[in-house]
Amino acid sequence: MAMMTGAQYIESLRKLNTRVYMFGEKIENWVDHPMIRPSINCVAMTYDLAQDPQHEDLMTATSHLTGEKINRFGHIHQSTDDLMKKVKMQRLCGQKTASCFQRCVGMDAFNAEYSTTYEIDKKYGTDYHERFKKFLLYVQENDLVVDGAMTDPKGNRGLAPHAQPDPDMYVRIKEVREDGIVVRGAKVHQTGSINSHWHLVMPTQAMKEADKDYAVSFACPSDAEGLYMIYGRQSCDTRKLEDGADVDLGNKQFGGQEALVVFDDVFIPNEYVFMAGEYDFAGMLVERFSGFHRQSYGGCKVGVGDVVIGAAALAAEYNGVEKASHIKDKLIEMTHLNETLYCCGIACSADGCATECGSYIINMLEANVCKQNVTRFPYEIVRLAEDIAGGLMVTMPGEKDFKSDLVVGKNGETIGDVCNKYFAGNDDVCSTEDRMRVLRFLENICLGSSAVGYRTESMHGAGSPQAQRIMIQRQGNIEGKKALAKEIAGTK
């Protein structure tokens, strides 16, 4: 099957019987729901960019399974060049959507599963790797979106999975059958889960023998019996439900998406089971996925950052202060921080190496340094953007006020007349509405619903800051550095 277009992707979602709930109700037509559709548009962009000859080199790859051209989001990295192109592709997608385009987590899960299943089979004689390759081939041939599902609710985080008062706080194997397993539990913070054709589930942490029922990895359709999702709220999300609020939306076309995914005794056939009790490999799968996903943030967040910087520069121009030296300096600092993130993403890719099965993995230390910077720099970029934009970004009246014909002035001025008069900026370069649109866009991306795809997700996506610091400590080779110092200093 040929690669899909964005329109074909959207139509493919209509064929699914995915169960979606929001505000305490079941959403029957979730594909066209105004709060959900912007996130679907983001995913559709990853399909349309792959159809554009201008972006073919970044957006597509040659499948090592078939030799056919595929969307890079379904590719297993075969070289450091592949790893670098991944980061460049993610930056491009971020530039085109200014939001989370949701396919990175599945791509990173593919690459973590590919090498980990190979090593499980080597130790235990299982056939997980062949099962996974068949599943991946199906994904590539049908150009599917797969949600990589790792994060469990965790309950009391001071207790191991098996010690939780409620055993469902981590996804677990509830029953083993001859033809498959029955799983129960939930995954939280699931990026793009509703917009995905399939889910690829992984354990969320390293485990010991007592937790072997929780050491499970599998794939299942998003509309599998017993699987349902509860849509996550975002700041300012109900603006999308308002009439006459086009300008107030900021980024009206694109947006992120997170959901709670519940597995209510879901049956998984053996062909889609890739780990079932091999607890000693749970940590490997988690670390490899986390490494790939932390690399991803050196691309996607940089692309969104490019748009934030551009919007801040526009706001300065519309406010008439673009020539001020302190404005120029702030834009320089924003660019410096953004490019530093990109450098980390490229560096951990260029320093990657082959795994035993032939696929390529990033430099784990540098990938964690990349994500550690992402937990900090976007916050400073946003702070500077808000500084440049000014307070009107969060105190401005709504679009209906700017268009209101209600007379309030002594000379017959309407509310719209008053708003357009007093909120005008640099009339030489913009209309009042254009100024309002840029400020609303910055509000949306810095504070509102797009924060899930930029600011807040920069902190918590791909693991908390402490998770990266733990990996940096493990990979930092302090003893090796001490030996270097001893040799040069001449100590015994």
**Separation of alpha carbons 273 and 129, rounded Å:** 10
Are 340 and 375 in a shared domain?
A: yes
Other beta carbons less than 10 A from residue 382's beta carbon: 22
Give per-residue pLDDT as tens, 244-275: 889 999 998 999 999 999 999 999 999 999 99
pLDDT at residue 464, as a whole number: 84
**Is there a domain that residue 486 lies in?**
no
Structural domain boundaries enclosing 206: 6-285
Are 223 and 77 in a shared domain?
A: yes
CATH number at residue 370: 1.20.140.10
Where is the domain boundary, 226, 259, 285? 285
Are 454 and 372 in a shared domain?
A: yes
**Is there a domain that residue 484 lies in?**
no
Residue 278 φ/ψ region, left for φ over 0, alpha for ψ in the -120 to 50 degree band, beta for the rest: beta
pLDDT at residue 460, as a whole number: 86
**Separation of alpha carbons 462 and 375, rounded Å:** 10
Where is the domain boundary, 285, 312, 333? 285
Where is the domain boundary, 285, 302, 330? 285
**Is there a domain that residue 492 lies in?**
no
Are 427 and 312 in a shared domain?
A: yes
pLDDT at residue 1, as a whole number: 66
Q: Note the residue count of the chain.
A: 492
**Separation of alpha carbons 361 and 467, rounded Å:** 19
Q: How far apart are the first and last CA of the chain?
A: 66
- Cα Rg of the chain, angstroms: 24
**Is there a domain that residue 482 lies in?**
no
Are 296 and 273 in a shared domain?
A: no
Are 230 and 304 in a shared domain?
A: no
Give per-residue pLDDT as tens, 30-60: 999 999 999 999 999 999 999 999 999 999 9
Are 35 and 163 in a shared domain?
A: yes
Are 302 and 433 in a shared domain?
A: yes
Residues of the chain with pLDDT under 50: none
Are 206 and 302 in a shared domain?
A: no
Positions marked active-site: 100, 104, 191, 258, 293, 297, 300, 457
Are 391 and 247 in a shared domain?
A: no
183: nearest Cα among 204, 159, 201: 201
Domain count, the chain: 2
Give per-residue pLDDT as tens, 203-255: 999 999 999 999 999 999 999 999 999 999 988 889 999 988 899 999 989 99
**Separation of alpha carbons 273 and 294, rounded Å:** 25
Sign of CA dihedral 480, 482, 488, 492: negative
**Is there a domain that residue 347 lies in?**
yes
**Separation of alpha carbons 146 and 373, rounded Å:** 27
**Is there a domain that residue 491 lies in?**
no
**Is there a domain that residue 489 lies in?**
no
CATH number at residue 58: 2.40.110.10
Are 192 and 233 in a shared domain?
A: yes
pLDDT at residue 450, as a whole number: 61
**Is there a domain that residue 485 lies in?**
no
Are 185 and 331 in a shared domain?
A: no
> Beta-strand (E) ranges in 132-282?
146-149, 172-177, 180-187, 198-201, 216-221, 227-231, 259-269, 273-276
